[in-house]
Every structure is written in structure tokens, then in C-alpha cells.
Amino acid sequence: MTLTVAAFDAMPDDGAAALLRACCGAERWVAGMLGRRPLGTIGGALRAADDVWRSLGEADWREAFAHHPRIGESRAAVAQDARAAAWSAGEQTGASTSTVTVQEQMARVNRDYERRFGRIYIVCASGRSAEELLSIARVRLTNDPVAELRVAAAEQHRITRLRLEKLFAESA
């Protein structure tokens, strides 16, 4: 049985919030989405997700980033539920099937990125190879901190939308 938007709209807040946290770990995003119910349709859910995301700021973005593992790793700084952990693993399939050399380079780039920007490297990894993710990270290391924060936030937004689509496509 698939989780419908109607069933989600009818859920108690705590159950719906838990599902939303798997999509995005920013509590203001979760609260904003709860406040937008009923969402009505998947399109309504995605529009609400976009609207709420645009209302967030830097602290919210950083909170969302902390709910992701580094590229090439499986554990996030903030504990993920089973659904979010499974989604992260699936999204990083390309990174997990790379050579040892690429994995070592990715670990080094992750460390360089964190030293430069003070947070993990966030990228929508779905459908991307480890080599592609590594290349993107190297380019993004040349960004200035303000521009890079906006790039990271846009990537988090993409991840959030993909996960919201998965939420309504998978078995409940």
C-alpha cells in the first residue's frame, strides 16, 4: 500500500513530522510543512516544500545539512531514522561502488571542504558516480563561502524534494 497525500494529511502531527524529518532535518521546515496541511496532492506537497524552504535561513540550512552523512559514509552527525538512512545509502550508491583510490580522494575532499566551509559537503548524489561527486566537490571548493552556502542550500532543497517524492511513492 502506498502512502497517499490524503493519508498523510490525516495523520497526527507527530507521525507526519517523523516522516517529514526523513525528507529534511530542519525543524522549521518540518513545522512549516505541518502548518501547510492539508497538502491535497503531491503537487501541493512539492509547492508547500518549496515555499517553506524559501522561508528558511542559514541556521535552518545548517541544521538540515547535519542530518546527512558525508559522501562515501553512512552515518550523519545527527541520528537518522531508518527511512532517511536507507534513502541516504541509496542516493550514495555511486559513491559506495567506487575504487579505493576514489574513496580516499573523496575522504580527503570531504575534510578539505569541512575545513574551508565548516560543514559537510552537501550534494544531491542521486544518479551520480563517485568520480562526478568528487569533481563537483573540487570545483565547489573554489567558491567563496557565501556563494557556496547558497549552492549547498540549493542542493539540500533538491534532496528534500526528491525525498518527498519518494515518501509518497514508497510503501507505507
DSSP 91-129: HTHHHHTS-HHHHHHHHHHHHHHHHHHSS------TT--
**Catalytic residue among 21, 67, 68, 163, which?**
68
Phi, psi of 123 (to 5 degrees): -150, 145
Question: Chain centroid to CA 155: how far?
Answer: 8
Whether residue 68 lies in the annotated active site: yes
Catalytic residues: 68
